[in-house]
Structure 1
Amino acid sequence: MLRQVGRGALQHSIQRKFLRVHATPCFVRLYSIPTPSTNTSSNPKAPLPLPPQKKPKIDLRPGPIKPKPPSAHAPGAAKIPPSIPTQAPHATTEHKAASPAEEVKKDLQDAEQHGILIPPPADANWIKRTLHQAIQLFKFYYRGVKLIFSRRKDIAIINSRIKAGGPPLTRAEYRLIHTQKDDINKVIPFLIIALLLEEVIPLIAIYAPFMLPSTCILPSQRERIEAKRSEKAATFSAQYYQTYRDLKLAENPSGFLPLSSLHLDSAPTAICGLLGLSTIGIDYLRIRRIRRHLEFITRDDQLLLQSKNTLSPQELSDALRERGMLNHGLQPKDLQSRLSWWLDAVKNFSTIPSDDALARRLSLVISHC
């Protein structure tokens, strides 16, 4: 029995030593390995879930709607010919017509460059410059009106020479007498306007040039007036094409168009526009202007056939424009050829302004339309 008790005590002491040895603290480093979670499914063979995707951004602001090209079958769709290119937006601004103020300024600068008007001092302000230009224009108009009255003496000398049986009338003298008559009719209204509203006269040269005497027109104004007359003739030639065809049907087989045919609808307006005459008023006044102009042309043709002087390019251009023939961009040789054709066609009717002579020239006016 003692032997058993001693054996149990020995075992108890051994256990106490073992526990003392293994009771010392120790540190263990643990490493965690991430493993996919399997809590989403009870099935162990279920596939692993995919990572969450980013939601697409939604723009709540509506974007600009691009217009669709018009369909050829849509009602009211504009058909643009492919052969005609559309004009660029900036093209209209490049060819924009100058304002009246800009044209007046350009006329004054051109007159100053030609020495007709004295330019203002370089250090002049706006008030002094405007006053200086007004004084220069007044002097120019005064000299022009004075020239009209001084030419009366020269014309009286020409008329007395012809009555006395001296040298015959030349073409330059005849045109001077014709211009003097027109200037005398315009000088009284022009003087009234110049005394009351002098600053309006440059605008009259733009909108109503027929009111100005020939001696009171600046060089650039004269060029613009002639350009507008040519443009007006070209416009009327295209606009009243049917009217000219109707007049050609009323023409005699021998090449005469009687003045009675001008009573057709819109015929007086069409002829006045082609000859560069004023279209203001009723048909009676238009027909009267046409008759007076044809009488002037008849006498001018007679003097051209008698004269052996060569005309300058400007004189050729003016002669063709007075006869209703477009001559823009033609060379002097072509201008002379057209004038020779006209003179050959009227040389048998160049004595006095008879009705047959006027009818022949009226037929030639519309022959090239």
Structure 2
Amino acid sequence: MTGMIVRAASRLGHQVNARNLSSVTQSSIRVTGILIRQQNLMTRTSNSGSPKDPNDTPTVKPNPAPMEDLTYPIGFGAAGSVAPEKSISKPPLPPPTGVVGKAKDFFRKGKEIVIQCRDGVKLLWTNKRIVKDLKKAQREAGHQLTRREFQLIQKTDIDLKRLVPFGLVFIFATEYIPLIIIFAPQFIPSTCVTPSQLEGRRRKIHEKRSAMTEKLIRLNRREINKEALANYNSFINIAKRYGEGFDYGMIDREHMASFCRFMDLNGFGPKFMLTKRLDKHMSYLKEDDLLLQKEGLESLTFSELQLANEERGMRSLEVSREHLEKSLAYWLKVSLSKDATVPPALLVFSRMFLLHSTFKSDPSKKQ
């Protein structure tokens, strides 16, 4: 009897152990599978726990772009982009032939313009957040703006005003965007304009200013001439003698419209609107002049020098950095002069005469 009980207990224990072993084995398999999947996931997302392969190269993270680059389109080397050491771009495609080829090329360019505008709007939204923080710091903590910060605020405010009509055209009439970029670039936010389009616009501005300069010099019969305006002492004498004649109230509408167009402002509207438009632009330049005098011209990049000269009605294309610096330095000397009060309209008038002047360094300073 005792032997039967022992054998029954032995069989029962063997079955219980078998069931427990089966349960433990299945649980172990599930846990092992989970650990393997987690290990694989950790291996894909991090290499900290695995030996380094000598053939692997470290990942290079782009440095954040400086603030001045935020004013350029994303698709053209701005906002945190890293320039490659060597260009890997494909050679230019041959010009399309036939109706089908030209149609494909047209749609390809249209797609590129749409992408360009989309990226430009994204960049403008980034600039908007930065400007908001700058204004808050200026208002609450008394932050003193640098010139680049001042320029970013000015350009972003202008671009935001252009964004509403541009956005409506972009949404409801996208096919007209290329025509607007070609024939009316002043209605496009600056972040949506490519360097080539900007250069083309500058050439048109220069041609318009050249025509106005030739006409002015041809009709001028007064003592004011190019040689007198190119010399600081003579300029100050002109400001003292003819300054009252360049007050806004003494200028008729036709000449006020010419001054606005020369400074790349809208020349349409009654005289009071033209006067307000020109005065607002010249007030902005005065504030910018003070920042330039404080920080110096050496800190400006070549593109910043070009823009500063262009905004003041001076030549910015096909000239050297030396010319841009000398031209801008002479403007600052006259604009911020303590010897006489120079009317803003006289500054614009003088740029018409000096548009084609060449500014060179003083030979005595090179010795």
Task: Please indicate the TM-score interval, normalised by the length of the shorter structure.
Answer: 0.5 to 0.7
- Cα distance in 1 between the residues matched to 2:256 and 2:291: 27
- Cα distance in 2 between the residues matched to 1:115 and 1:268: 51
Aligned to 1:196: 172
**Contact 1:327/1:335 (8 A) holds in 2:** yes
Letter in 2 for 1:363: L
Do residues 175 (structure 1) and 151 (structure 2) align? yes
* TM-fit CA distance, 1:242: 7.1
Structure 2 counterparts to residues 315-354 of structure 1, below 5 A? 315-348=304-337
Structure 2 counterparts to residues 3-152 of structure 1, below 5 A? 130-152=106-128
| 1:249-306 Cα shifts (integer Å, max 9, x gaps) | 99652756322233x1511121012212222333333222211110110010010011
- Cα distance in 2 between the residues matched to 1:270 and 1:243: 14
Letter in 1 for 2:350: S
- Cα distance in 1 between the residues matched to 2:104 and 2:242: 66
Which residues of structure 2 form unaligned runs of 5+? Answer: 1-74, 77-86, 226-237, 354-367
Aligned to 2:301: 312
- Cα distance in 2 between the residues matched to 1:175 and 1:301: 12
- Cα distance in 2 between the residues matched to 1:314 and 1:142: 24
Whose radius of gyration is greater, 1 or 2?
1
Structure 2 counterparts to residues 190-339 of structure 1, below 5 A? 190-241=166-217, 252-253=240-241, 255=243, 257-262=246-251, 264-308=252-296, 309-339=298-328
Do residues 186 (structure 1) and 169 (structure 2) align? no
Residue 262 of structure 2 aligns to a residue in which SS?
helix
**Contact 2:282/2:344 (8 A) holds in 1:** yes
Letter in 1 for 2:181: A
Residue 336 of structure 2 aligns to a residue in which SS?
helix
**Against the structure 1 CA distance between its residues 126 and 332, is the aligned structure 2 distance closer, same or farther, given a 3 Å change threshold?**
closer
- Cα distance in 1 between the residues matched to 2:258 and 2:219: 7
**Contact 1:251/1:258 (8 A) holds in 2:** no
Aligned to 1:363: 346
**Contact 1:273/1:279 (8 A) holds in 2:** yes
| 1:230-254 Cα shifts (integer Å, max 9, x gaps) | 1111112223447877897996527
Which residues of structure 1 form unaligned runs of 5+? Answer: 1-109, 350-355
**Against the structure 1 CA distance between its residues 125 and 177, is the aligned structure 2 distance closer, same or farther, given a 3 Å change threshold?**
same
TM (normalized to structure 2)? 0.58
- Cα distance in 2 between the residues matched to 1:152 and 1:205: 22
TM (normalized to structure 1)? 0.58
Letter in 1 for 2:347: L
* TM-fit CA distance, 1:209: 1.4
**Against the structure 1 CA distance between its residues 282 and 254, is the aligned structure 2 distance closer, same or farther, given a 3 Å change threshold?**
closer
- Cα distance in 2 between the residues matched to 1:325 and 1:138: 33
* TM-fit CA distance, 1:336: 1.3
Q: Which moved more, 1:276-285 or 1:201-210?
A: 276-285
**Contact 2:113/2:178 (8 A) holds in 1:** no
* TM-fit CA distance, 1:185: 1.1
| 1:59-80 Cα shifts (integer Å, max 9, x gaps) | xxxxxxxxxxxxxxxxxxxxxx
* TM-fit CA distance, 1:135: 3.6
Percent identity, aligned pairs only? 25
**Against the structure 1 CA distance between its residues 365 and 133, is the aligned structure 2 distance closer, same or farther, given a 3 Å change threshold?**
closer
- Cα distance in 2 between the residues matched to 1:207 and 1:130: 17
**Contact 1:186/1:211 (8 A) holds in 2:** yes
CA RMSD across the alignment: 3.6
Higher helix proportion, which one? 2
Letter in 2 for 1:211: F
Letter in 2 for 1:267: H
- Cα distance in 1 between the residues matched to 2:108 and 2:348: 47
